[in-house]
Structure 1
Amino acid sequence: MATSYGQFCPLAKAMEILDERWTILIVRELLLGSTRFNELRRGVPRMSPALLSKRLQALERHGLVDHEDGAYRLTECGRDLHAAVMSLGVWGLRWIEDFGDEDLDPHLLMWDVRRTIGAAWPAGRTCVAVEFTDLRRAGRWWLVVTDGTVDVCDYDPGFDVTATVRTTLRTLTRVWRGDVSWEQAIRAERVAIDAPRDVRAEVPGWFGRSVLAAARDEVSAS
């Protein structure tokens, strides 16, 4: 538990639990549906396993998380943080637009893309390759969607590729965040899609985007 602020203010008491490094991001991952330890690790790849375990134990101790049968799930208390976490994320999108190269991570991006794949993918199995032209390592990825089940691979799964998306890590990150649209990125020649014409037109709709992007749009429209 973080050091007490010595205040009766409810916000101060909440932050005594939540303001330790990584804690709110772990809550984010749980809200997004991760339940297993290794799934949570993929959402916070720069966090050590030991520290992740420690933070999960603290959340369990404070009644925000249940740990049963190897799965971590938010309690009613933990789920009640949904609005607060979404609001913080939307605030970050609206007011902190810049991010440095040190914030870019292909593993985290592709894990997030996997979780936000849209429902417009064709029936059966479809394989889309993603090539980050600016990366020497972890620069090639494959999204395999089979009747709604999504796998992300950093090795060639051996399936026929329906389309190949070529771009930089920063560009696809900005597209997924909702900072720029697919149309804008393609028009600026920052994204190239190698596929038959009819498929090429469909690919942007196959990819999802951050849930925070949609939430930001709703706030901006209100």
Structure 2
Amino acid sequence: MPEMTGSYGQFCPVAMAAEVFCTRWTPLVLRELLCGSRRFNDLRRGVPRMSPTLLSKRLKELAKAGVIETRKASDGVIEYHLTPAGEELRDVVMTLGFWGQHWVETQHALEKLDPSLLMWDMRRHLDPEPLPPSRCTVQFLFPDQPPARQRYWLVIDGGDVDVCSTDPGFEVDLYVTCPLRIMTAIWMGIATVRAEVRAGRLELDGNPDLASSMQHWLGLSPFARERQRTGQAA
């Protein structure tokens, strides 16, 4: 594997792997690739606070290290795909996430919230199976956020799911209103839809079938399973 900048100068598998994996932002870029993001703009949506210049640099470093490869899609856009070496990092990334879910103090972590990133994650893991085959539009309102970051729409049309930060113009089937902290806690498996509705912190208005099945179609964070397994969910 090619030598990367910031070498530890040690012939040790841990040191050599850390030179590839532990540079700033790299684990999050790998998380995005493992979650299915392939194009530069999709990767940017998953790491919105990472500059495009730094993202481009990290992608080049990962390609040089043999972790990813570039391919040209049918429309001519460059895509980034994990190599077998990159795919083998899946367990490393998941284990790191499970460790963080189990050991990092959750209430402090909930102060670091980003509604656009939450909605992007929810879009990727939403399960359309419990939803009707016709198009469904769900509006999320986070009243505690600045006006430009309060409203988001999930549009589910068959197996396709899209997230919009501006009104897509479709009739809304379900309105979801709650503080961003509450929706993040539900997404992370710290709380449940039923408990938050019962406590009056989450309001669901619209199609009753969509409302009653929200816990099922929401598609929680893959790391929520760890909290549920250890009995920490509300």
Give the TM-score range, shorter chain: over 0.9
Query: What secondary structure sits across from 1:28 in the alignment?
Result: helix
Report % sequence identity: 45
C-alpha spacing 1:57/1:124, structure 2 compared with 1 (3 Å): same
TM-score normalised over the length of structure 1: 0.94
Q: Give the counterpart of 1:89 among 90, 97, 112.
A: 97
Match of 2:168 among 149, 157, 168: 157
The corresponding residue for 1:76 is: 84
Measured at CA, do residues 196 and 76 of structure 1 come closer, stay the same or move farther in structure 2, by a change above 3 Å?
closer
| Residues 43-102 of structure 1, C-alpha deviations (whole Å, 9 max, x = no match) | 000000000000000000000000121000000000000111100000100111233566
Task: Say which of 114, 126, 136 aligns to 1:117.
Answer: 126
Aligned partner of 2:42 in structure 1 is 39
Q: Does 1:133 align with 2:136?
A: no
Task: Specify every segment of 5 or more residues in structure 1 that has no aligned partner in the other structure, as ranges.
Answer: none
Task: After the TM superposition, list the runs of 4 or more consecutive aligned residues in structure 1 that deviate by more than 6 angstroms.
Answer: none
2:26 matched to 1:23?
A: yes
Verify the 8 A CA contact 1:117 1:208 in the aligned structure 2.
Answer: yes
Identify which range, 99-108 or 151-160, moves more after superposition.
Answer: 99-108
In 2, the alpha carbon distance for the partners of 1:121 and 1:99 equals: 34
* Separation in 1, partners of 2:22, 2:210: 46
TM-score (norm 2): 0.89
Give the secondary structure class of the aligned counterpart of 2:117. Answer: helix
Name whichever of 196-205 and 86-95 sits farther off. Answer: 196-205
Distance 1:199 1:14, change over 3 A: closer
CA RMSD in angstroms, aligned pairs only: 1.6
- Long gaps (5+) in structure 2: 73-77
Q: Which moved more, 1:75-84 or 1:177-186?
A: 177-186
Residues 203, 142 of structure 1: CA spacing in aligned structure 2 closer, same or farther, 3 A cutoff? same
The within-5 A match list for 1:141-152 is 141-152=152-163
| Contact 1:178 1:209 (8 Å CA) reproduced | yes
Shift of residue 205, structure 1, vs aligned partner? 2.2
Letter in 2 for 1:72: Y
Could you tell me which residue of structure 2 aligns to residue 105 of structure 1?
Answer: 114
